[in-house]
Structures are given as C-alpha cells and as structure tokens.
Amino acid sequence: MLLVRNGRKDDLPRVIELIRELAEFERSLYEVTNSISAMEEDGFGAAPVFGFFVAEENGYIYGLALYYYRYSTWKGRRLYLEDIVVTESQRGKGMGKLLFEAIMKKALEENCTGMMWQVLDWNDSAIEFYKRYNTRFDEVWINCHLDSEQIRVFLNRN
C-alpha cells in the first residue's frame, strides 16, 4: 500500500540514497557533501531547519520531498521545496503527485503565503508535471550561490 508520511530520523539512510540518486540524475553527484549525521542535527536537533515527507510502499521508501521555510520581504513566510525525488523505477505511478500535494497542504497548514522551488530547464518531465498545477515559471531571476569555501577565501583576503 502506498503511503506518504512525515519523515523520521531512521529514514535518513534511505533519504541520503535518494539524494544521491537525484544528484546523479542531475549530473551533479560529485557535489553531494551532505551526510546522515548532518541531516540528523539539522533536521532533528535542537533547532531543526528542514522537514521532509517520504513516499513508501510496503515499508520501503521510494520518494522524498524535502522542504524548509524562507522569508520573503514582499510576501512573508514561504515554504521552499528543496527537492522532490522518486526513485527511477517508481516514476509515473503517482508518488510524485502525492508528495507534491503533501507539500502544498503543509504550506497551507503552516500559514505560508505560498511555496517556491526550482526546476532544471532541461527536465521536461518535471516541467510538464508542474504545469498541471498552474505553476508560474519565473524567467527573470538568476540563481546565485557561494559555497562556504568561497566565502572563507574571500573573507580571508580582506
């Protein structure tokens, strides 16, 4: 039986596997540096910074939707869907839909003004999936980031 539920600490080994599978799909496996211990602290420690849902069937986890909250100066509290992944062999069976709709419900339950996420411009199946929800795609903003090592190097120069 297919079930979507809140993630638990004991799910993290499988969650890391799904994260690696997603990174491989996105051609970026080499960028994964997260660990079970870091996720234990960051998700279940004194000040959790993320939550997640899992999709499981017959006790085995096939899907993940990881989220956190961000604050928009214009809109207020927003739910940010960091990643949604369903293992390749289970795609097309409705797990992604159930996970995505669990995230949508969570946004409303937490009185968020909406939700946000990113999708790779070449991931046509994901883009088509999100279009079913009347998603607004933003083509104006450019994503930016600095890794901690880049920050250290810059700050140590000054």
Domains assigned to the chain = 2-157 (3.40.630.30)
**Burial bucket for residue 18 (CB in 10 Å: 0-12, 13-18, 19+):** buried
- Mean of per-residue pLDDT scores for the chain: 96
Please answer whether residues 53 and 103 qualify as being in contact, where contact means their C-beta atoms are separated by less than 8 angstroms. yes
Predicted structure pTM score: 0.93
Q: C-alpha 102: how far from its chain's center?
A: 12
Question: Does residue 158 register a pLDDT over 90?
Answer: no
Q: Which residues are catalytic?
A: 130
State whether residue 80 is helix, strand or coil.
strand
The mean pLDDT of 143-157, rounded to a whole number, is 93
Query: Which pLDDT value is given to residue 141?
Result: 87
CA distance 104 to 78: 11
Query: Which pLDDT value is given to residue 139?
Result: 87
Q: Could you tell me where the DSSP H helices lie in 1-158?
A: 12-25, 36-44, 95-109, 124-131, 148-157
Q: How does residue 4 score in pLDDT terms, banded at 50, 70 and 90? A: very high
The DSSP call for residue 73 is T
Q: How does residue 86 score in pLDDT terms, banded at 50, 70 and 90? A: very high
Q: How does residue 142 score in pLDDT terms, banded at 50, 70 and 90? A: confident
CA distance 52 to 33: 19
The mean pLDDT of 5-15, rounded to a whole number, is 98
